[in-house]
Structure 1
Amino acid sequence: MLPYNITDQEFDIFKRLIYQHTGIHLSQQKKNLLVARLSNRLKALNLKTFIAYYNYLLHHPDRASEWVKMIDNITTSTTEFFRERQHFVFLQNKVLPYFLKKRGNKRLRIWSAGCSTGEEPYTIAIILSEFFKDREGWDIKILATDVNSRSLSLAKAGIYKATSVKPVPSLYLKKYFQKESQGDVNIFKVKDTLKQMVAFKRLNLIRDHFTLSSVWDIIFCRNVTIYFHPDIKARVIDQFYKLLQNDGFLFMGHAEPLFFVSRKFYPVGKSVYQKVLRPK
């Protein structure tokens, strides 16, 4: 039995609110999920109803900080190191050699959009470190963003349980992580050499993309837009197009094909796309 009840009218209000601010589309079947994820916020604020929480979000002096907490509770953070491993094989064997030949200025910018707790950008950093270890003079930066502030805090800390680093090859685990003991539990800390390659920033893909000043060579946005309404997804993909270099690459999740969303990219690998200069 859920501790709070939500009426159909209240659910519709929150559904529109969440869609407007995050792009996430909640179907009617997600009603109990919404209650489960937001009940702790009502309890923390000593509110009795969801309409009272809605009014708090709109009018309370502390509404800005509560918005962040609400979004943290709504958004999911499912990720792992080397997730969809073939993407990183493609990055290492196809994309990076391409830029090695094309980038005379030895400058490379990668954006991990929807980085969750950091496993994806740190995996990217490992691949780049290995590829460029004998190639000096490259200016490489990775930006990792997410709308979930709790996930970003964990990502910045770079501390993972043994179960989390299982997908990391043993050679990389020894090279890029520091193993430590916390009581009876082993933890693995990302070493500073890897941390220094990644800058973390809170960013809402559907509202804050104009705050990015860089133009990107590679964008990873995997298993993020799957939660978006199709119209929002099309808008986000359009912004990726504008923010990518003319020959830039976009990595999407395997369940997020672009064929029915945008003709501004053409496939070059499994859920890997390259920018089309003159889209139809």
Structure 2
Amino acid sequence: MNQPLRAAMSAVPELDDTQFLRWQSLLEERTGMCLASQRRSFLQTSLGLRMREVGCDSYEQYYERITAGPSGAIEWTTLVDRLTVQETRFFRDPDAFAFVEQYVQQKATELGADETLEFWSVGCSSGEEAYSLAMVGERFLTPAGKRYAVTGTDISTIVLRKARAGRYLPRALQWVPQAYAAIGFKPQQAGEPLQINDELRQRSCFSQVNILNLAACPLQSQHVIYCQNVLIYFRRWRRREILNVLAERLAPGGILVIGLGEMVDYQHPLLEQIHSSRVSAFVRKKTNSEGESARR
């Protein structure tokens, strides 16, 4: 930690039990995320740094500021960006992406000439996951003359701006499989930022969505819903609610991919679980009519 930051943090007041519970409740009420007690120091640091930036001397004063009127709503947006941004990288789960690749290759032979394969990255952060999905589409669908589109959603406006820009540090390339490097990025000189290819950016869009308001999200008939490393921040009952909404947004035959262990023993009448020790995924059953499974 550098000297100025160390000096700033030394003046941050201790976040006691009462204040921690108060801020924990506010975060869960507004975003659905449940901040575990083990992350109290993270919350104290994040609040403390922001309080110094805006000139608040106590958690009570900052709480009143953030919950009052239009200016409080603006400040809340800034704080949420600090509290919810999570680590991400390209092709973060190779096994899950191998499963998506297999599905997309199959769809490349099934899609009609007027159909578009829809990808949805839920909790897309700064865009690496969404663009990884776009690279899969570009690799297997474009040569077959088929179309694809990617939508990335997140609650943080800051990371969404980064995703739209499509610019990344050169070291991010170390996570990209060799087969995708030329597909995903423009040629670069040594030391220059990575820039996502125009073709992928044109087929990708990013939108702010609070996962508590998924029911109001207009996305429907998605072929691939990728929701990894998102559910772990929510209580079990809310995870089930989120998955129920996502199940309804899948196209018949579409796949829902979540993180291993994020929701054990989840069942839904529209979904069939993929039995694998390496991937946690579900397929929406094909139906003749709503609620009636098609005969195979």
State TM-score, norm by structure 2: 0.85
Q: Give the corresponding residue for 2:153.
A: 145
Moved more, 242-251 or 207-216: 207-216
- Partner AA of 1:64 in structure 2: A
Letter in 2 for 1:173: A
Q: Percent identity?
A: 24
The aligned amino acid for 1:9 is T
How far the C-alpha of 1:209 sits from its partner, in A, is 3.9
Q: How does 1:1-280 map to 2 (within 5 A)?
A: 1=10, 3-93=12-102, 95-104=103-112, 105-136=114-145, 138-181=146-189, 185-259=191-265, 261-264=266-269, 265-268=271-274, 269=276, 270-276=279-285
Aligned residues: 274
Supply the AA of the counterpart residue of 2:180.
Answer: Y
Contact 1:25 1:228 (C-alpha < 8 Å) held by counterparts: yes
Aligned equivalents of 1:153, 1:133: Cα separation in 2: 27
Shift of 1:208: 4.4
Q: Which moved more, 1:208-217 or 1:31-40?
A: 208-217
Name the amino acid aligned to 1:232. R
Gaps of 5+ in 1: none
Contact 2:153/2:208, CA 8 A, preserved across alignment: yes
Residue type at the aligned position of 2:70: P
- Counterpart in the other structure of 2:3: none
Q: 1:139 to 1:171 in 2, by over 3 A?
A: closer
Post-superposition CA distance 1:129-172 (Å, at most 9, x none):
11013222x34211001112221111111111121111213353
Q: Deviations over 1:195-226 (max 9, x none)?
A: 11110111111124413243212100001101
Distance 1:174 1:246, change over 3 A: closer
SS in 1 for 2:175: coil
Q: TM-score, normalised by structure 1?
A: 0.89
| Alignment partners' CA distance in 2, 1:213 and 1:84 | 24
Q: Distance in 2 between matches of 1:208 and 1:186?
A: 37
Deviations 1:162-193 (A, max 9, x none): 21111213353234312445xx8332111111
Higher deviation after alignment, 141-150 or 262-271: 262-271
Query: Deviation at 1:262?
Result: 3.3
- Counterpart contact for 2:214–2:245, Cα < 8 Å: no
Alpha-carbon contact 2:120-2:151 (below 8 Å) kept = yes
What are the superposed Cα offsets for residues 217-245 of structure 1, whole Å, 9 maximum, x if unpaired? 21000011011111111110111011112
How far the C-alpha of 1:101 sits from its partner, in A, is 4.8
Letter paired with 2:130: P
CA distance in 1, matches of 2:11, 2:140: 51
Counterpart amino acid of 1:219? I
Return the alpha-carbon distance in structure 2 between the equivalents of residues 163 and 25 of structure 1.
32
Residues in 2 aligned to 1:121 and 1:131: alpha-carbon distance in whole angstroms = 16
More off after superposition, 97-106 vs 59-68: 97-106
Deviation at 1:55, TM superposition (A): 1.0
DSSP 3-state at the match of 2:41: helix
Q: Answer 1 or 2: which has greater helix percent.
A: 2
Aligned mates of 1:171, 1:29 — CA distance in 2: 40
Answer whether contact 1:234 1:262 (CA < 8 A) is retained.
no
Say which is worse superposed, 17-26 or 270-279, in terms of deviation: 270-279
Q: Where does the alignment leave 5 or more consecutive residues of structure 2 unmatched?
A: 1-9
